[in-house]
Amino acid sequence: MRRRVAGNLLWMLADRGLQVVVGIGVVAMLARALGTEGFGHFQYAQSLVFIAASIPLLCSAEVVVPRLVAAATPENRHALVAHAFVIRLGAGVSGYALMCAWLALTRQPADTWVPATLLGTAIMLREPFGIVIAWMQARTHNRPNVVFNLFALATKTALIAMLFVAGVKAVPAYATAFAFEPLVAALLLAGYYLYRSPRAIPSYQPTLARELVRDGALFWVSFMLMVAARRADQLILKPAVPLAELGAYAATMQVLDNFTTIATILAAGIAPIYVFAQQSAAAARRNVLRVTAGMAAVGFCGAGLIALCAEWIVRLLYGHAFSQTVVLLQLAALASALIFADVGLSLLPVYLRKPRWVAAKWALVLATTAVVDVIAVPKLGTRGAVLGYAMGNGVAVVFGLALVLVSGRKTAVATASA
């Protein structure tokens, strides 16, 4: 069993790692093909899609997977998958409609709303059909999903490479290539599941649907707040700075997003054994602090290396047109190291099953980022957004440390009273 779990985890980590590596290459081609202004339009559209894509997370894997594991028969599992799919699909359609409403209300130019509507098809595909991934996770068999992801990623990368080699500079063309990835993945996932699932269409169960929505609501709020906290800066920046500056800032965040993904990969590999397997909260808390210290050390070493090599990284990935990105990357890189510590500290509320703590943290981070950006961006431009990014990350770490202290005191009081 342990070998199966370890093998499944390795497949998941390999999938994520390869996506990061390929993603860097794709972003480099985009930036060079579109220039600073076109890249700014594209990244703003992606930010809108990223925020709207949090809406279909209403029925997340945290709610579905435990139920799938506990389901007694294939028919019960099939009914659960079907209900979760319909809930996610309805939320996805709502997310797409809300994104289009935002584009209309803010009167975005065609260079923004055309790629947004194309990229936004992922809102109705990725999470709804991603219920099959939850079904695979419940069976501890993620290898097919990794293969499907790699095939879809290869399709998108090949299309982008062909456009880049052909000298295409139109933003909608690249957005169309991006839209192929979730479409291909959805078709493969659907085909794989339907071939192995019961043929009968399950009847609607109102009680099950209500339970899935109710139990997933708190996780859903947490996800939405997290996504908004990570993308609010670009929404605030767009009307406040020239588009070329927005493009330079977006390029900075692209590099750091790929860097900080290492934190989630490390946590996914370390947490099951060193945190989640612990029998006592005290032992788990001690290990969380050790993991956090180790991850913070990795984060600061990596951030320092990025800051030192910022000019070389920008020149290699984006070209000379993105010279403004160098200073922004040097400043923001050091702030990104705090994310490693935050990811480590976030393991404690997950272990204690306290999603309210996670929701409260992201609400505080979002509020901090928004307030700092609104005050600093008009005065400092993109450097003000970097300040908001740093302050938000710092607040997340302080909040995480406070939770460790509070939970420790509660455990000590409970032990003394016993």
Distance set, CA 396 to CA 73, 172, 334, 387 (Å): 42, 36, 15, 14
Please say if the pLDDT value at position 66 is more than 80. no
Query: Region 47-68: what's the mean pLDDT?
Result: 84
84-108 burial: b if 16+ Cβ within 10 Å, else e: bbbbbbbbbebbbeebbebbeeeeb
Residue recorded with tokens 């990811």: 343
57: closest CA among 2, 133, 117, 6? 133
Close Cβ partners of 45 (under 8 Å, ≥ 6 residues apart): 112, 113, 115, 116, 119, 175
Average pLDDT over residues 63-80: 81
Nearest-angstrom CA–CA distance, 353 and 290: 20
Report d(CA 330, CA 313) in Å as an integer: 11
pLDDT tens track for 289-326: 999 999 999 999 999 999 999 999 888 888 888 888 89
Residue-wise pLDDT for 271-286, tens only, equals 767 777 778 888 888 8
Separation CA 250–CA 128 (nearest Å): 28
Q: For position 336, what pLDDT does the model report?
A: 94
- CA–CA distance, 358 with 305 (Å, rounded to integer): 30
